Amino acid sequence: MSQDAPRPPWHARLRGPGAAGAVIVTGMVALAVAAPLIWGGTAERIDAAAILQGTSPAHPLGTDNLGRDLLARVLVATRLSLLLALAATLIGAVAGVVLGALPSVLPRRAARLATDTVNALVAFPGLLLAMFTAVVTGLGARGAVLGIGAAIAPGFARLTQTLAARVAGADYVAAARMLGVSRRRILTRHVLPNIAEPLILNLAQAFGGALLGLAGMSFLGLGVQPPQYDWGRLLFDGFPRIYVTPEVALGPAAAIALAGIGFNLLGDALARAAARTPGTGRERAAPPVAREAGEPDPGAVLEVRDLTVTFPGGVTPVRELSLTIAPGEIVGLVGESGSGKSLTAAAIGGLVPYPGTVTYGALRLGGRDVDTLSDRELGTALAMVFQDPLAALNPALKVGGQLAEVAVVHEGAGRAEARRRAVDRLGHVHLPEPERVAARHPHELSGGMRQRAVIAMGLMGTPRLIVADEPTTALDVTVQRQILRLLREVVDETGAATLFISHDIAVVGELCDRVVVMYAGRVVEELPADRLADAAHPYTKALIASLPDLDTDRARPLAGIPGAQPAPAGVGLGCAFAPRCALATDRCETERPRLAARGGGRRVACWEV
C-alpha cells in the first residue's frame, strides 16, 4: 500500500517570505520580552525640557507632550500590543471553534440554526462587529480585545465547520458512530484532533489581523487608554503632529506594519506548507426512513427483507433485497462493481450517505428491529471491517487507545482495564508484540497489520454480526489469505454471523458458507458455496467463467462478460441482465423473474434455467 512520504520538519518548509516572516516574528517576541526590562525606565521618564520634540540624536523618534522618548515607548509597547493581540486571537479562536463545532453535536434543527448564525456573522463586516462589541462592552483595552475577538470568531467558525464536515465523512468516524460513540465524544476525540493542525496554523494569520485591528481600535480612541499605551495609542497621540514632526507617528506606524506583515507572512507560509492535508471519502449518514414491520425469523442473526436504497432522481442502487444470515455463518455478497454491495452493507449499518433513503420490510439484528436498538447496542452487536483499514482508523490516535475506547464507551471500563483488553485483542488477531502495536499510530503499521487491528477493534465488543466490505482488496495476495483465515477463525470462535462483500467469486467460494449474487441492485442467485459449480443463473456462470484457472491460456484476454451493467437509474421492467444474456427471450425483456427455490438451498431468478 502506498503511504504519504514523511513530511519535512517545519523549519525546512519555511523558505523565502515565510522565513522572513519567521525572523520578524521571532524578533518581535524577543522585543516583547526584553524591551520593558531594558527601556522601561526610559519610556516613562518625564523630561520637561524636551517636550514635543522631533528627531534628535538623543530621541531618534522625538518625544511626546511630557518629553518621554518615543523610540523607547514604541519598543516597550511591543509587549502590550502583542499580548492584547494574543488575547483577542485566542478569544476569537475558542469562540469560533465552539460555534463551528456546534452543528456536529446539536440535533438537526439546532445545528441548522448554528450554521445560519455563522453564515450571518461571516457576512457581517468584521470592523463594524468589532466596534459594536467594543462600544457595548466598554471603552478600553478589554472592550477592544473582546471586539476584535468577536470579529475573528466567525472566520474560525466557518473554517471549523468546513474542516469538521470533511472529517465527519471519514471511515473512522463512521466506524466510531457504528460503535455507538456519542456525538460529543466523536467531536472531541475524532474530529477536533484531526482538524487541529489547520486551525492552529490559522492562528498565526488571525494574530496578524488582530494586531492590525487592535491598532486601528486604539487609533480610533476605542482601544487602550492612558496611562497604558500600545502601538495604536502611540499612533493616535502622534497623529495630530504628523505634518510638523512626522517621525512621531511614523515610528508606531512602522512597528504595526512590520508586525502585521511578519505574522501574515508566517501564517501564509505555514498554511501553504500544511496544504497537503489528506481528504476523506464518505458523507454524513442519513437515518433510515419509512420502515415497516414484518415477520421475525428467530433463528437468524441478520434478517433483511425487501431492502431498498434510493437516491433522488430515481436512482435505486439496491432493490427489494432479502437475505438472512445464521449464527456462525459467512455469507458472501458478490457482484460486479456498482451492483449495490457496499450500499447494502451501509444500509444494514445505518450509514447510507445523505440524501439516500432506506426502506425495508424487515431489518432485524438478533431478532430485534435495528430501529429499536440503541446506538450502544448496535455498536457492540455489529462490527464493520472496511476496505481501507487506514481510513478506518483515526490517524491522530494510537491503535491501543482506539481499541480501548470501545470498552470505555460501551462498558464503562476503566482506562487500564480497557487498555489491557485492547492489547489482549491485538494478540488475539495474531499481531506480534501486541503491546508495541498498541503504542503505535496507524501509519506505523503495514496494511495487513492495520486490517488485523480493525478486526481486533470489532472484537472489543461482542459482535453478533460482522460486516466486512472488501476487507482484503487493498492488501497483497499473501496478506489477503492471512486475513481471510483470521476472519474464519474469528467467526468460528465468536459464532458471529458474517456478511462478506467481494467482487471476487473465487475468494467468496473459498471463505463463505453461502453465496448471494447481486446484479444491478437485486439478488439474482443464492446458493451454498460448495455448490458454486452447480450455479444456474447465466450471470453467476459468467462470473465463474471469467475466473482464470490452471488451464487458462494466460496470453489470451480473460473471458469477460460482454456489455455493461445498467446504471441504477436505468434498470427497466424486465431482467436487468437480459441485454447481456445469451439465453434472453422477449419475456426476459419485459417481465422480471422472481427468486425461486430450486432445492438444496438454491434460489435463482431466471426464466430460462
Q: Which residues bind ligand ATP (CB under 6 A)?
A: 311, 315, 317, 335, 337-343, 353, 356, 503, 568
Of 169, 550, 96, the residue nearest 354 (C-alpha): 169
Residue among 568 and 593 whose Cβ is closer to ligand ATP = 568
Residues 100, 158 contacting (CB under 8 angstroms): yes
Phi, psi of 3 (to 5 degrees): -130, 155
Phi, psi of 509 (to 5 degrees): -60, -35
Residue among 288 and 568 whose Cβ is closer to ligand ATP = 568
Minimum Å gap between C-beta 17 and ligand ATP is: 42
Residue among 268 and 320 whose Cβ is closer to ligand ATP = 320
Minimum Å gap between C-beta 309 and ligand ATP is: 8
Minimum Å gap between C-beta 568 and ligand ATP is: 5
Minimum Å gap between C-beta 332 and ligand ATP is: 13
**Parallel/antiparallel/unpaired status of strands 315-325 and 302-311:** antiparallel
Burial 70-93 (b: 16+ CB within 10 A, else e): bbbbbbbbbbbbbebbbbbbbbbb
**Parallel/antiparallel/unpaired status of strands 302-311 and 357-359:** antiparallel
The helices-and-strands tally (H runs, E runs) of the chain is 22, 13
What dihedral angle (degrees, nearest 10) is formed by the CA atoms of 31, 34, 38, 43? 50
Residue among 263 and 519 whose Cβ is closer to ligand ATP = 519
Distance of CA 538 to the CA centre of its chain: 42
Minimum Å gap between C-beta 74 and ligand ATP is: 59
Residue among 205 and 308 whose Cβ is closer to ligand ATP = 308
Of 239, 231, 233, 234, the residue nearest 260 (C-alpha): 231
Minimum Å gap between C-beta 256 and ligand ATP is: 50
* Helix locations, 393-494, DSSP H: 399-411, 415-428, 434-438, 447-458, 477-494
DSSP string over 160-193: HHHHHHHHHTSHHHHHHHHTT--HHHIIIIIIHH
**Separation of first and last alpha carbons in the chain:** 43
Minimum Å gap between C-beta 165 and ligand ATP is: 15
Residue among 132 and 311 whose Cβ is closer to ligand ATP = 311
Minimum Å gap between C-beta 537 and ligand ATP is: 17
Residue among 78 and 472 whose Cβ is closer to ligand ATP = 472
CA 194/CA 345 separation, integer angstroms: 26
Residue among 337 and 478 whose Cβ is closer to ligand ATP = 337
Minimum Å gap between C-beta 346 and ligand ATP is: 7
Residues 6+ apart with CB under 8 A from 223: 84, 134, 140, 141, 143, 144, 214, 215, 217, 230, 232, 233
Residue among 388 and 513 whose Cβ is closer to ligand ATP = 388
